[in-house]
């Protein structure tokens, strides 16, 4: 196998956990290097001919691919690679080349001179080389490159003589001094730009192309002067000194600030090091028979199977990148140089077939000769990724399994939300928490009633609130997206928005909301009511004005790919859905069950809230029962709807979980109203009424509601609530059965921390279930189980499994209690700093923490199954939709993951990928 | 060994965990029974002669002790025992006697008749027997007893003939019908009382003693009539039917409601069953040469070595208990019947020597002959327990080890707090949480300033508040005790009160406080300012008026006992102390270090709070630093004081832990003020100022402060706070060293959940420490460690131990996060119901939960020590002072427990006891 399975770094954020761990990764890299090259420990330099694509660790991506192309007989300018090992040795030796390295480089240089028939520093026939960085993982623009190395006041004459192009020679020299001065000698590049601008101003010209030989000579002179005054040293003229300095500079660039930041952000181990590629220069700017370009083997935007790219005549690569001149589409190449085009198209085809992956290539045409400078796996959009993967399978290039592995799960997610056109220029005015993904555009409104009214008129609105409460839900439903100034990723706004599939930016404390005047400010921008804003719920960005959106699409290719994934994966994928419409959506996305139906969201709906409040504020058991009697038919309809939507599939219904005060008005607002009424003396009747309500709310207030009277504690305190809910579930299921349906309700008790809680509730609720069955003269198969969401439940899973037929890991709460973090208080506050400062490797609410939470999950699965071997085990926390967490869930033996409907396709792909990876690991 | 080590059930709440587990206990009991009596599986009945004191499981306490006394040749009325096994078999067989049991009972009865020369049902010489319950553990008054069984209209003639005392005979008959009717035939006993009252009214007499034979005959007649009309059956006349019914009734009484409740409360396994003792009656009411009494071998109140008790002439045991006639002190017996007294005193002495434990005896004198009816280990007060244990060692009766085991740790605790005179009659008006033990008496005050002022005048005051805040601490210090209407056992009031060693009743929601009029109501009682109330912080009782108190005393005996304990125990005992005075007190109680010095309590002190607030509200880093600079010398003095008090011993100082808003005014109060100011328009300047403060407080508010920005998260967010504290610690230690002292500071980081938090802080703080050492030109030995108080820290202890030289388990927080309980919200709310309804075996904040929290502690100890074998490990949560939790801490290998100064002696005893128990287990 000359080709390694392409490992695209951008996939790291969902790749196996080991790869996320810098230490492990470093040691893996080191071991791999050590194992492969133990016989040549002191071989620091490799000719392209000596390498191949498998040697990315040692030669970097660029070097390994040049070597591979050379092996394949493609026209690659000759060169050699100083290894990543040498880079690491350089750092270990306090920034000195390791013994033997420079000598090996000189030997390789000699061979290069032999191959090209040129010599570095030769006056008549000088060799010019490029010196480029090249790490294992692509870090575009992060490290340094020097072109045209070898030029000095003498060798330039040879170049002029060779090329018969004085201007080209001087322009190359000018570029070299500028680049070398900046990169190697660390002179501020603005100084060179200013000097060049001055020359242009003096000469009265505007474009670089109008610079004459004399101007360029003057530029070289002034550039050298700048270097000398800034560094107090002459510009190096000896080409070997230049080379030595350039290699040192590339090594040093591995640890420049932006490279370190980049690696921190992308979690690339700092210990990998960069290789240095020294390669004979070829020139695309040698006249009208020269040129340069970049191309993809397929369209990276749509995935269409066509050569895609652009080229420039008489230009160097950097001209393409710089965008000074407008390049021509690659198709034009066929018209300009049909032979070259044919040759290039063939090479492109060969490379794609060879790598079995879409390629991103750089090429140069020097005086009618095509040279390939680079090839690598091409980046692509989400929709292109899907199309390419499916096409390549259909073309027989890759297997179904490979096709699945080629698509990042997060790309699937992108395709399921409207998103901001990546081409659009946007003005970001603030950033908050990316609480619910997708993009939204609309007019800012601050009052939910008004937002709803305006939306009803057909306008798109965005609801802006300091924070949201159940009173705002109708406004949220009517809005395109929600923006709040306070609250974390489990705040009311965030949870409801995710449930609704609406984009939400939460806890955006950069904005100041003035509710009185209905406006907000972000920096020096003020947004008045009815002003347009856009939200990027995937990034947390608040954007000025209307940005263009791309609507979601489930293409035929995606459907196909998902079907393949279904055939492979072991984990089932269920969805969290509170309403029939969400359940239907989830089912259409392929959900195999509902893993979490939160009954409290049903309670929050506008017309029900008064009844719920009546139940809570009941001063007697009979008054409470009266309210519950009113809720029973409503809940029964809710459950019937969702069971009908999921006919034949399991539906896990969680009994009431949140603390009761969540259903009542906010304490502080109420207090404010009461105090105001008291101070003004107006409306004593309302005062008395609000005062009474305030007392009720106060009596339900808790110091730490997350750890208070909620979940099964509530169920044990007010047994009639759960009894009503279980009755509603059973009655609903029996109704469906009467209709000829096949309901599979599973009754889930939340927040259990001691087996007895479950035991007592089970006894009571089974009694209710039996009673309903007797009343109706029919029975229904239901399960009884529990959430595992506090550490003690996990630690005593063997006892809990005596009562529970299923476990569902509520990893949101489990993460909160395992860490002792309140998500509302942590996210957007200290947790942000923790992740930024690498105190935590990632946000544990997004990526399941293996060492703590994961260990508890493992314990609970193992010990729960010991008690009950057929225990059904799943996860319904938000991690259920996170690919790297799905990886963990597979490994620990869960039966299913449950996630939001929109994440179902993501999870289907991720679950298939982990199955493939584990099989691969087993096969090896 | 004929005598088992007396196992007093009242000690169960601190005894080995296994005993707390009903399942284990039941299976232990069953196994023991099975093992001992496998050869006689069907022996259901034992004569007293066949048993001994080791057979409590089978014969119950009463039966086993009667057997033992009989073996020892003491005058015990002959009898036999139907075993506990028979009782369990009875329940298993649906309340039928097991096969063979009744026949064995009849055989034993025959033998009894032979021994007494009387016969059950004999007309001339009838045998009368008592039928009494007798379980393994004493359950006083919970189960049933029938006396005088064997009487009917015919046998009474024999009794009259034998005794020549017609009135005695009819009175006995009357009592028997009444007792049998109530106990066996389940007729409401009030009916018999009413009938007797009616007879007395008709006869115009007031006292029972004035009832004539005719009256008594009428009573028997009417009683039988009641039985017949209530049960539709004749009163049984056949003495064998009577016996059969009585045995069934005693078995049935094992599962009567009050017995079940009692066992639930005392955690006695329901599976033990009761034995039934059938014993020949002897009569103390046969005239002036008869009598009955109870006595202790030593004074159960003081422990003095003297016979202590009382007796009644011409009376039955129930007369002593009923308190109708005033008994005489036992010393009088010597005057009345000197020979009997001498015989009894000798028997008492023999019994005590035999059992090697203070005895509680019942005796009856029938016509000049002494009979021993019962002996058992005597209950005693705390001070008696200590005195008796030490005396018995000095008398050579028991070993030091036994002496230590004879004292319940909780009894030591009682002796260290002023307590309510147990003789006093008190009027309890409300009950709250027993938040801090001890008793307090004083005038109720509602304003802390006024409380302080009045206390300064020499009055005892009790501070009554809805809840307390740092602003109230001066008032709390000045008070005898604190009463709050809200807040749990970790509320501010509770924590500060325990720290101060002041009694506190918290979360007493039965009282309604009217702050405006400075009064509170409890039921129909209103307490105005300056009214006297008393608090029992050990029970949570609020008592009307002034109750007499007993002051604490550390007697010479207790000191001696504690010294013996120190020589035995393996666990060190440290104390939690925030102030030098507490540290000194702890040291005087024998603390070997300070395991927790909470620096935030120092911040709360009145004169410092403004500086702390200045620090918190600082708008710039320099402003914050200025406040910290002011705090530095104060903190240095605090630490110097405590290090000086603990010279030569370790002092663990925890860096700032609580969320910052705790140091600021209450949000709701502030909001109320601002809204009022706004509505009234008065004092716009104050409005502006308070408004600004409100905004600051609001920005620090958290949804769940317990899980928010506190502990090391705060330290990482504001590094300058911890840096100041570490500087203060090092400067203080170096000052002490200069003074010639020997400081051992240990710096503790709170609330770590990831090793990196500790790693980052350690690096920064070690730097500060080194800097101080350099500045001072001297060094000091300090340790750096962490609290383990969230599950993740325990689960990743091996990583955390790489940075920490010591672990201290903060089991309060660890319990909160492991269960997902907020203590403030749980205690006094659902947790109360949980314990009452046996959903939880006990309050996990009082007794360490083995299965969840304990498992985490075990994991952390084992894995932490794997990384660092000399890791110092202790516990500083409140469990550190709980004997059963100390048992666990010993078992899991902790180095020390740390508790409040007042609990140090308790912990010393408990630590010695667990060592002894474990040695005993190892020896077996």
> A355-394: per-residue pLDDT in tens?
999 998 999 999 899 999 988 888 887 888 999 999 999 9
Out of A675, A717, A751, name the one closest to residue B675 (CB): A675
Q: How many percent of chain A have pLDDT more than 70?
A: 92
Query: Closest-CA residue in chain A for B760?
Result: A839
User: Does residue A16 carry a pLDDT above 60?
Assistant: no
Q: Are B872 and B832 in contact (CB under 8 A)?
A: no
**pLDDT the model gives residue A920:** 81
Query: Closest-CA residue in chain A for B852?
Result: A792
**A794: its two tokens:** 């996990």
**pLDDT the model gives residue B14:** 31
**pLDDT the model gives residue A325:** 66
**pLDDT the model gives residue B436:** 80
Interface contact flag, B707 A822, Cβ < 8 Å: yes
Compute the average pLDDT of residues B61-78. Answer: 92
Q: Which of B487, B712, B761, B792 is most worth mutating to test chain A (most A CB atoms within 10 A of its CB)?
A: B792
Compute the average pLDDT of residues A413-425. Answer: 82
Q: Are A472 and A496 in contact (CB under 8 A)?
A: no
Find the helix or strand (DSSP H, E) in which B788 lies.
strand B783-788
Question: Who contacts A796 (Cβ-Cβ below 8 Å, separation ≥6)?
Answer: A754, A755, B851, B852
Beta strands in A399-455 (DSSP E): 419-420, 428-431, 433-436, 439-445
Q: How many percent of chain B have pLDDT more than 70?
A: 92
**pLDDT the model gives residue B701:** 86
Find the helix or strand (DSSP H, E) in which A147 lies.
strand A145-149
Residues of A in Cβ contact (< 8 Å) with B834: 716, 757
**pLDDT the model gives residue B10:** 33
**pLDDT the model gives residue B112:** 95
Provide the pairing of β-strand A419-420 with A511-514: unpaired
Q: What is the DSSP string of B806-853?
A: EEEE-HHHHHHHHHT--HHHHTTTHHHHHHHTTSSSS-TTTS--IIII
Compute the average pLDDT of residues B19-24. Answer: 44
Closest C-alpha to B806, from B597, B910, B912, B650 = B650
Residue B672 distance to chain A (closest CA, Å):
6
**pLDDT the model gives residue A263:** 78
User: Does residue B509 carry a pLDDT above 80?
Assistant: yes
**pLDDT the model gives residue A177:** 95
**pLDDT the model gives residue A74:** 92
Q: Are A490 and A821 in contact (CB under 8 A)?
A: no
Weakest mean pLDDT among A106-120, B101-115, B291-305: B291-305
Residues of A in Cβ contact (< 8 Å) with B754: 819, 839-840
Q: Confidence band (pLDDT; 50, 70, 90) for B29?
A: low
Name which residue leads in pLDDT, A553 or B230: B230
Residues of B in Cβ contact (< 8 Å) with A680: 679
**pLDDT the model gives residue B690:** 92
Q: Confidence band (pLDDT; 50, 70, 90) for B471?
A: confident
Residues of A in Cβ contact (< 8 Å) with B676: 675, 678-679
Q: Which of A681, A820, A841, A853 is most worth mutating to test chain B (most B CB atoms within 10 A of its CB)?
A: A820
Name which residue leads in pLDDT, B828 or A674: A674
User: Does residue B127 carry a pLDDT above 80?
Assistant: yes
Out of B668, B717, B816, name the one closest to residue A833 (CB): B717
CB pairs under 8 A between A and B: 192
Out of A667, A817, A839, name the one closest to residue B820 (CB): A817
How far is residue B743 from each of residues B574, B731, B805, B881, B900, measured CA to CA in Å? 16, 11, 17, 25, 21
Name which residue leads in pLDDT, B624 or A502: B624
Out of A680, A751, A824, name the one closest to residue B679 (CB): A680
Q: Confidence band (pLDDT; 50, 70, 90) for B206?
A: confident
**B264: its two tokens:** 């639930």
Interface contact flag, A753 B790, Cβ < 8 Å: no
User: Does residue B90 carry a pLDDT above 60?
Assistant: yes
Interface contact flag, B706 A703, Cβ < 8 Å: yes
Q: Confidence band (pLDDT; 50, 70, 90) for B712?
A: very high
**pLDDT the model gives residue A8:** 33
Task: Provide the mean pLDDT of chain B.
Answer: 88
Beta bridge partners of A305: none
Q: Are A656 and A749 in contact (CB under 8 A)?
A: no
Query: Closest-CA residue in chain B for A841?
Result: B756
Closest C-alpha to A115, from A63, A76, A83 = A76
User: Does residue A33 carry a pLDDT above 80?
Assistant: no
Q: Which of A507, A704, A863 is most worth mutating to test chain B (most B CB atoms within 10 A of its CB)?
A: A704
Query: Closest-CA residue in chain A for B844?
Result: A754
Compute the average pLDDT of residues B154-173. Answer: 91
**pLDDT the model gives residue B914:** 95
Sign of the four-CA dihedral A31, A36, A41, A45 = negative
- Encode pLDDT of A744-789 as tens digits: 999 999 999 999 999 999 999 999 999 999 999 999 999 999 999 9
Residue B523 distance to chain A (closest CA, Å):
19
User: Does residue B252 carry a pLDDT above 60?
Assistant: yes
Sign of the four-CA dihedral B610, B615, B618, B624 = positive
Interface contact flag, A708 B822, Cβ < 8 Å: yes
Residues of A in Cβ contact (< 8 Å) with B837: 760
Residue A609 distance to chain B (closest CA, Å):
22
Q: Confidence band (pLDDT; 50, 70, 90) for B2?
A: very low
- Encode pLDDT of B629-659 as tens digits: 999 999 999 999 999 999 999 999 999 999 8
Interface contact flag, B817 A813, Cβ < 8 Å: no
Whole-number Å distance between alpha carbons of B346 and B340:
10
- Encode pLDDT of B428-438 as tens digits: 999 988 878 78
Question: Who contacts B321 (Cβ-Cβ below 8 Å, separation ≥6)?
Answer: none
Residues of B in Cβ contact (< 8 Å) with A514: none
Query: Which single residue is written with the structure tokens 């009573």?
Result: B219
**pLDDT the model gives residue B921:** 67
Compute the average pLDDT of residues B421-434. Answer: 88
Query: Closest-CA residue in chain A for B667?
Result: A668
User: Does residue A626 carry a pLDDT above 70?
Assistant: yes
Interface contact flag, A822 B760, Cβ < 8 Å: no
Query: Closest-CA residue in chain B for A712?
Result: B830
Backbone angles phi, psi at A461, to 5 degrees: -125, 155
What pTM was estimated for this model as a whole?
A: 0.77
Q: Confidence band (pLDDT; 50, 70, 90) for A22?
A: very low
Residues of B in Cβ contact (< 8 Å) with A760: 837, 839
User: Does residue A149 carry a pLDDT above 80?
Assistant: yes
User: Does residue A187 carry a pLDDT above 80?
Assistant: yes
Query: Closest-CA residue in chain B for A799?
Result: B851
Out of A751, A760, A855, name the one closest to residue B820 (CB): A751
Q: Which of A812, A825, A855 is most worth mutating to test chain B (most B CB atoms within 10 A of its CB)?
A: A825
Q: Confidence band (pLDDT; 50, 70, 90) for A15?
A: very low
Compute the average pLDDT of residues B62-81. Answer: 92
Residue A829 distance to chain B (closest CA, Å):
8
Longest dimension (CA), chain B: 106
- Encode pLDDT of A548-584 as tens digits: 988 776 889 999 999 999 999 999 999 999 989 899 9
Question: Who contacts A38 (Cβ-Cβ below 8 Å, separation ≥6)?
Answer: none
Query: Which single residue is written with the structure tokens 């996860």?
Result: A875
**pLDDT the model gives residue A836:** 73
Whole-number Å distance between alpha carbons of B643 and B737:
10
Compute the average pLDDT of residues B78-94. Answer: 92
Interface contact flag, B833 A706, Cβ < 8 Å: no
Whole-number Å distance between alpha carbons of B649 and A515:
59
**pLDDT the model gives residue B327:** 79
Residues of A with catalytic function: 492, 876
Out of A704, A716, A792, name the one closest to residue B830 (CB): A716
Residues of B in Cβ contact (< 8 Å) with A667: 668
Q: Confidence band (pLDDT; 50, 70, 90) for B113?
A: very high
- Encode pLDDT of B315-347 as tens digits: 877 666 555 567 788 989 999 999 999 999 999
**pLDDT the model gives residue A6:** 30
Residue A676 distance to chain B (closest CA, Å):
6
Weakest mean pLDDT among A11-20, B31-40, B232-241, B457-466: A11-20
**pLDDT the model gives residue A486:** 83
**A203: its two tokens:** 């000469």
Closest C-alpha to A128, from A104, A85, A106, A158 = A158
Query: Closest-CA residue in chain B for A678?
Result: B676
Residues of B in Cβ contact (< 8 Å) with A826: 707-708
Interface contact flag, A675 B676, Cβ < 8 Å: yes
Compute the average pLDDT of residues B269-293. Answer: 89
Query: Which single residue is written with the structure tokens 């709250």?
Result: B432
Q: What is the DSSP string of B763-775?
A: HHHHHHHHHHHHH
**B284: its two tokens:** 């103390």
- Encode pLDDT of A670-721 as tens digits: 999 999 998 888 899 999 999 999 988 888 888 899 999 999 999 999 999 9
**pLDDT the model gives residue B266:** 67
Residues of B in Cβ contact (< 8 Å) with A672: 671, 675
Interface contact flag, A756 B671, Cβ < 8 Å: no
Whole-number Å distance between alpha carbons of A745 and A729:
7
How far is residue B152 from each of residues A109, B126, B232, measured CA to CA in Å? 127, 10, 19
Weakest mean pLDDT among A455-464, A755-764, B570-579: A455-464
Q: Which of A661, A791, A832 is most worth mutating to test chain B (most B CB atoms within 10 A of its CB)?
A: A791
Whole-number Å distance between alpha carbons of B303 and B296:
10
């Amino acid at each position: 196998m000359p080709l390694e399975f392409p490992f695209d770094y951008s996939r790291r954020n969902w790749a196996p956990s080991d790869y996320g761990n810098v230490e492990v990764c470093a040691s893996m890299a080191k071991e791999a290097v050590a194992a492969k090259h133990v016989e040549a420990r002191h071989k620091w330099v490799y000719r392209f001919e000596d390498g191949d694509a498998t040697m990315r660790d040692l030669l970097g991506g660029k070097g390994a691919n040049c070597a591979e192309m050379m092996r394949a007989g493609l026209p690659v300018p000759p060169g050699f690679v100083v290894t990543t090992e040498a880079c690491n040795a350089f750092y270990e030796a306090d920034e000195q080349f390791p013994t033997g390295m420079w000598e090996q480089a000189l030997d390789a240089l000699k061979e290069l001179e032999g191959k090209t028939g040129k010599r570095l520093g030769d006056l008549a026939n000088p060799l010019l080389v490029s010196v480029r960085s090249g790490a294992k993982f692509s870090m575009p623009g992060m490290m340094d490159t020097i072109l045209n190395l070898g030029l000095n006041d003498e060798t330039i004459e040879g170049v002029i003589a060779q090329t018969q192009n004085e201007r080209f020679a001087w322009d190359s020299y000018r570029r070299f001094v500028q680049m070398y001065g900046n990169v190697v000698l660390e002179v501020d590049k603005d100084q060179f730009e200013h000097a060049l601008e001055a020359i242009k101003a003096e000469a009265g010209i505007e474009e670089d192309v109008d610079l004459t030989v004399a101007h360029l000579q003057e530029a070289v002179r002034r550039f050298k002067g700048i270097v000398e005054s800034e560094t107090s040293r002459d510009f190096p003229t000896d080409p070997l000194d230049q080379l030595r300095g350039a290699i040192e500079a590339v090594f040093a660039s591995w640890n420049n600030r932006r490279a370190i930041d980049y690696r921190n952000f992308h979690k690339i181990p700092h210990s990998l090091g960069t290789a240095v590629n020294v390669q004979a220069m070829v020139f695309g700017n040698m006249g009208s028979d020269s040129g340069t370009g970049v191309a993809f083997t397929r369209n990276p935007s749509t995935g269409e199977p066509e050569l895609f790219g652009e080229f420039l005549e008489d230009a160097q690569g950097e001209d393409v990148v710089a965008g000074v001149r407008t390049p021509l589409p690659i198709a034009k190449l066929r018209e300009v140089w049909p032979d070259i085009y044919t040759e290039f198209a063939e090479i492109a085809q060969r490379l794609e077939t060879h790598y079995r992956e879409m390629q991103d290539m750089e090429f140069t045409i020097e005086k009618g000769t095509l040279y390939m400078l680079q090839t690598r796996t091409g980046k692509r959009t989400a929709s292109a990724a899907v199309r390419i993967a499916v096409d390549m399978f259909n073309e027989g290039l890759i297997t179904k399994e490979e096709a699945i592995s080629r698509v990042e799960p997060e790309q699937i997610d992108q395709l399921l939300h409207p998103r901001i056109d990546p081409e659009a220029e946007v003005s970001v005015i603030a950033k908050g928490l990316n609480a619910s993904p997708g993009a939204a555009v609309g007019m800012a409104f601050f009052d939910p009633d008004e937002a709803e009214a305006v939306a009803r008129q057909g306008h798109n609105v965005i609801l802006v609130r300091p924070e949201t409460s159940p009173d705002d839900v109708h406004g949220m439903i009517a809005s395109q997206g929600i923006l709040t100034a306070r609250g974390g990723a489990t705040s009311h706004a965030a949870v409801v928005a995710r449930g609704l599939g609406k984009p939400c930016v939460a806890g955006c404390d950069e904005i100041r909301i003035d509710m009185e005047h209905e406006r907000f400010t972000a920096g020096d921008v003020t947004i008045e009511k009815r002003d347009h804003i856009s939200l990027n719920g995937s990034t947390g960005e608040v954007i000025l004005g209307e940005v263009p959106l791309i609507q979601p699409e489930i293409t035929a290719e995606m459907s196909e790919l998902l079907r393949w994934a279904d055939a492979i994966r072991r984990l089932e994928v269920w969805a969290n859905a509170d309403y029939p419409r969400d359940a239907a959506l989830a089912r259409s996305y392929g959900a195999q069950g509902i893993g979490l139906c939160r009954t409290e969201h049903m309670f929050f709906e506008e017309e029900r809230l008064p009844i719920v409040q009546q139940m809570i504020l009941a001063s007697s058991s009979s008054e409470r029962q009266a309210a519950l009697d009113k809720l029973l038919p409503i809940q029964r309809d809710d459950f019937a709807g969702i069971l009908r939507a999921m006919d034949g599939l399991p539906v896990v219904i969680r009994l009431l979980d949140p603390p009761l005060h969540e259903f009542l008005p906010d304490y502080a607002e109420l207090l404010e109203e009461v105090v105001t009424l008291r101070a003004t003396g107006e409306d004593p009747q309302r005062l008395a009424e609000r005062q009474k309500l305030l007392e009720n709310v106060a009596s339900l207030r808790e110091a730490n509601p997350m750890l208070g009277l909620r979940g099964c504690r509530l169920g044990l305190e007010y047994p009639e609530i759960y009894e009503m809910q279980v009755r509603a579930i059973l009655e609903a299921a029996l109704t469906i059965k009467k209709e000829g349906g096949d309901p599979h309700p599973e009754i889930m008790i939340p927040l259990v921390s001691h087996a007895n809680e479950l035991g007592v509730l089970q006894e009571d609720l089974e009694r209710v279930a039996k009673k309903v069955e007797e009343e109706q003269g029919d029975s229904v198969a239901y399960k009884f189980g529990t959430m595992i969401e506090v550490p003690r439940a996990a630690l005593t899973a063997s006892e809990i499994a005596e009562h529970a037929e299923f476990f569902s890991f509520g990893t949101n709460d489990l993460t909160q209690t395992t860490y002792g973090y309140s998500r509302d208080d942590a996210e957007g506050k200290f947790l942000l700093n923790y992740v930024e400062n690498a105190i935590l490797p990632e946000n544990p609410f997004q990526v399941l923490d293996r060492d703590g939470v994961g260990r508890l999950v493992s314990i609970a699965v193992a010990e729960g199954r010991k008690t009950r071997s057929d225990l059904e085990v799943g996860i319904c926390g938000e991690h259920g939709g996170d690919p790297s967490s799905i990886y963990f869930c597979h490994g620990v033996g869960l039966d299913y993951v449950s996630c939001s409907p929109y994440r179902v396709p993501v999870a289907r792909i991720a679950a298939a990928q982990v199955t493939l990876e584990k099989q691969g690991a087993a096969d090896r």
